[in-house]
Amino acid sequence: MPHVARSITRSAVALAALAAVTAFSFGGWATISVEDVPESLRVGQPTTFRFTIRQHGIEPLEGLNPSLAIRSADGKSVVAAAASPDGAKGRYASTFTIPRSGDWRVTINSGFGPSKLTLLPIAANATGVSLAAMTDTERGKHLFVAKGCVGCHIHRAVDERPPADMGAPELTSKAFDNGYLALWLANPRIRPATKGGPEMPNPQLSQKEIAPLVAFISSQGRATASK
């Protein structure tokens, strides 16, 4: 009875679509965190992005169909790429090739409700080597987006915003001791969670990501570079 099977499939699809729409309002949001964000891209050469999708910034989500859309600065070219599971639970990889030089913005659609992430522009050129190396502060700004901090925190130096109020403090003009900040980013359990608020999940950063993030947060948005 194939028609029965088909209608079951169809209602399952309808239910899934409904779940995707309602998931968000019931807290079904996810953060996206990219590994080894490149400082530049090489024209005509495949680049692979690896990223992890975590529900509420915590639980890795498997079985999703994420996709990438990489747009040129003038918005005239869009490179589309699918992503597939990559080893660890909730980790995906996507490979794409940039057709010409210029600045490109990568958007990762999680495939989990409307949760998505658009990175800051990355320059593509013939060599794939960034001509002027980024300062720690600039790199930290890129990482603040790419590591998914923007999924919970507002920082006015970047345009990505949390989808709703996540109970996380705005970080635009917050001042911290740099040593404390580095310890916090390595493990937010160094102090008890603020009473009545959510805990910050461990953002799973590497040491080489922590120093630039500290530099960026400590700059309190005074960094002028546009990327």
Q: Which residues contribute to the site for ligand HEC (CB under 6 A)?
A: 31, 56-57, 147-149, 151-153, 166-169, 171, 176, 181, 184-185, 193-194, 197-201, 203, 205, 213, 217
Q: Which is nearer to ligand HEC, 42 or 174 (CB)?
A: 174
46-55 vs 59-60, strand pairing mode? antiparallel
The CB-of-155 to ligand HEC minimum distance in angstroms stands at: 9
Q: Look up residue 5 and give its amino acid.
A: A
φ, ψ for residue 16 (rounded to 5)?
-60, -40
φ, ψ for residue 124 (rounded to 5)?
-110, 140
The CB-of-171 to ligand HEC minimum distance in angstroms stands at: 6
The CB-of-124 to ligand HEC minimum distance in angstroms stands at: 25
Q: Which is nearer to ligand HEC, 44 or 198 (CB)?
A: 198
- Residue 59 to residue 30: CA distance in whole angstroms: 9
Which residue matches tokens 């992890």?
A: 52
Q: Which is nearer to ligand HEC, 113 or 151 (CB)?
A: 151
Q: Which is nearer to ligand HEC, 200 or 215 (CB)?
A: 200
Q: Which is nearer to ligand HEC, 116 or 153 (CB)?
A: 153
- Asked if 138 and 225 count as a contact pair (C-beta separation under 8 A), the reply is yes
The CB-of-54 to ligand HEC minimum distance in angstroms stands at: 8
The CB-of-83 to ligand HEC minimum distance in angstroms stands at: 20
